[in-house]
Amino acid sequence: MAASQHNDGLSGGPPRYFSIAEPEPGIVLVGTCVRGIARSADNATTWKPVDGLDHISINAFAATAGGGILAATSGGLWRSNDQGRSWDQLDDEPIYATTPSGPGRPERVTTFRLMQLRDGRTLAGTDGTGIWARDGHSSWARFGAGGLTVHSLAETPTGSVLAGTHGDGVVRSGDGGATWDTSSEGLPDSSVHALTVLDDGSILAGTGQGLARSLDDGRTWQRIAAELDSHRIFSVHQLDDGRLMAGSYAHLWIGEGDTWRLVDPGLTPDETWSICFSGDDIYAGAKAGLLRSQDRGRTFVNIAPESVVFGFDRTATGHVLAGGDWGVRASADWVPVGELGPRAFAVLEVGAGHLLAGTLSEGLVEYLDGVWRPVAGGPPHRQVYQFHRAAGGRLLACTGDVIDGTKVGGVFASDDGGRTWAETLSGRSYYSLTQTSDGTIYAGGRRCYISASTDNGDTWDPRPLPLGREAKMYSLYADSRDRLFLGAGGQLLRSDDGARTWTVLDDGIDGVSFYDLREGPGPILAGATNSGVYTSADGGETWQAGSLG
């Protein structure tokens, strides 16, 4: 049975690996946001997408008695009786959670997690009303953690109950729900999306800033898996062979001891992150590698496989710089520029032999005298998403971080070639900067809050929230005609009046998330999206998808 398209226009973006299951040893399922299910029959070595479920969100799995498995999805409850090869839709009401016996939950309450205790009771973690409990077929009653949004639940080996919350860390009850205590000491973030009890009795927490482990029944936590620190972990699962799997926005990992490796379930081979024009050529940083098109975006050739590029810049000598998982490299041979350890999300040439790179874990770094080093006077945030060179040579950078459980960030300005930086816009993470011909600079912040500056970034004025609602913020770009384009969730918007009003562009790109947008000769617009590279020759009115040759 085919599933219906799921696109609310607000979230979009990477698949987000929400759920992991192993219905029998060696057979592994991963469920995602919007991209459906991938299945491995050889212990997570090779993967195949499951037919018919590619446009819905898989929020949770639950194994049933007799070998079946249920999936709670945005397209209702589904069941498989053959270890996830094929699925039958049982109903079409969107749900977030299920138990082996089905999705029973408190009425008129959004339920994010269901869990069956060893004593037979079922717990429900809800949106803003804490935890509810039911014994058998009795009525639901409040169990505790009132007023909290609960995304994850776990029962420890001693019978204590842990609840991972949105913004309030972990709360714990050791007396059957009568009393609750905060148990967040050592957690790297206050949002806890996943809780998993391992075979040795320790407990893992997937948070907004990586993984943490508890060795004392959930009372205190220690950060583990350093390479996952800058990732929001939605799911954690222990495989039958003892290995751990963890899922984030765009990545799935398997951990063995202190070593973690990326796993590609094959659901997003066309995902593309960044765009750069060099003459008539279009470069795209994609999950498949570094792509180049020499026919105005109709076809692309992979010129550097096994690489992920997040940002580009063009040098004064006409070379292209690419920043990504491999550090920073330069065309035409794509040789490394120095030895940069962390992933480079943004790159900028300041001058001959002087580069800046924004990373997702180590903040702002610079390449000078042949060596990469942290910028001592740089922004205090670990994530630097984009650079912009404004009028008069002023450099601007937009940043983000999570500090003491709170998302922070801002726009920073440098007037001395990147040596020192001052914050000029604060209050949230900012992801994109762009400028129109009249000198106005626009900054796109978390949840699509946009501000404008007419004084070279010294002061900022907020613009109305696009379409009057929040959405995932991905990109903001001004073309040569001063039209602003906003990648907002699963939609592309355009403003012709300086970010005051917006129009949704959907001809050929319904449900597509634009991570980057650039203008080339012609003029032609090219966009890097969650489903490949799209181009438009009419100002964004219509779009065509390119193909990977």
Share of the chain above pLDDT 90, in %: 80
Evaluate whether 312 touches 346 at the Cβ level (below 8 Å): no
Residue 163's pLDDT is what? 98
Strand partners of residue 261: 254
| Tokens encoding 526 | 């090219």
- What pLDDT band is residue 170 in, cutting at 50, 70 and 90? very high
Residue 409 has pLDDT above 80, yes or no: yes
- What pLDDT band is residue 7 in, cutting at 50, 70 and 90? very low
**Chain segment 63-122, per-residue pLDDT in tens:** 998 889 999 998 999 999 999 999 999 999 999 999 998 878 898 899 999 999 999 999
Average pLDDT over every residue of 250-259 = 86
CA-CA distances (angstroms) from residue 437 to 223, 434, 440, 478, 536?
A: 47, 10, 7, 9, 21
CA-CA distances (angstroms) from residue 102 to 66, 132, 136, 157?
A: 14, 16, 13, 25
Residue 426's pLDDT is what? 96
Evaluate whether 44 touches 239 at the Cβ level (below 8 Å): yes
The CA distance from 461 to 546, in Å, is 38
Residue 53's pLDDT is what? 84
Write out the E strands in 390-529. Answer: 395-403, 406-414, 422-426, 430-435, 441-445, 449-453, 461-462, 473-478, 484-488, 491-495, 503-505, 514-520, 524-529
**Chain segment 418-444, per-residue pLDDT in tens:** 999 999 999 999 999 999 999 999 999
Residue 149's pLDDT is what? 96
| Tokens encoding 135 | 């014994």
What backbone phi and psi angles, to 5 degrees, belong to 449?
-85, 125
Residue 269's pLDDT is what? 74
Average pLDDT over every residue of 185-189 = 93
Fold of 272-477: Methylamine Dehydrogenase; Chain H (2.130.10)
- What pLDDT band is residue 230 in, cutting at 50, 70 and 90? confident
Average pLDDT over every residue of 210-214 = 96
Residue 16's pLDDT is what? 84
State the DSSP code for 139. Answer: P
CA-CA distances (angstroms) from residue 140 to 122, 146, 437, 492?
A: 9, 14, 60, 43
Average pLDDT over every residue of 504-514 = 87
Evaluate whether 210 touches 221 at the Cβ level (below 8 Å): no
- What pLDDT band is residue 11 in, cutting at 50, 70 and 90? low
The CA distance from 2 to 77, in Å, is 13
Residue 9's pLDDT is what? 55
Task: Provide the 3-class DSSP secondary structure of residue 338.
Answer: coil
Average pLDDT over every residue of 285-307 = 91
Tell me which residue of 515, 509, 536, 516 sits closest to 524, measured CA to CA.
536
Tell me which residue of 126, 121, 171 sits closest to 150, measured CA to CA.
126
Tell me which residue of 467, 476, 453, 462 sits closest to 427, measured CA to CA.
462
Fold of 108-233: Methylamine Dehydrogenase; Chain H (2.130.10)
**Chain segment 344-398, per-residue pLDDT in tens:** 999 999 999 999 999 988 999 999 999 999 999 999 999 999 999 998 899 999 9
- What pLDDT band is residue 3 in, cutting at 50, 70 and 90? very low
Average pLDDT over every residue of 35-40 = 93
Residue 392's pLDDT is what? 81
The CA distance from 187 to 191, in Å, is 9
* Torsion of the alpha carbons at 92, 93, 99 and 102, rounded to the nearest 10: -60
Residue 56's pLDDT is what? 85
Residue 462 has pLDDT above 50, yes or no: yes
Measured in whole angstroms, the distance separating CA 56 from the mean position of its chain's CA atoms is 17
The CA distance from 50 to 16, in Å, is 16
Q: How many residues does the chain have?
A: 549
Average pLDDT over every residue of 231-259 = 92
Evaluate whether 546 touches 508 at the Cβ level (below 8 Å): no
The CA distance from 31 to 75, in Å, is 13
- What pLDDT band is residue 405 in, cutting at 50, 70 and 90? low
Residue range(s) of every CATH 2.130.10.10 domain in the chain = 108-233, 272-477
Range of lowest pLDDT (237-246, 259-268, 329-338, 521-530): 259-268
Mean pLDDT of the chain: 92
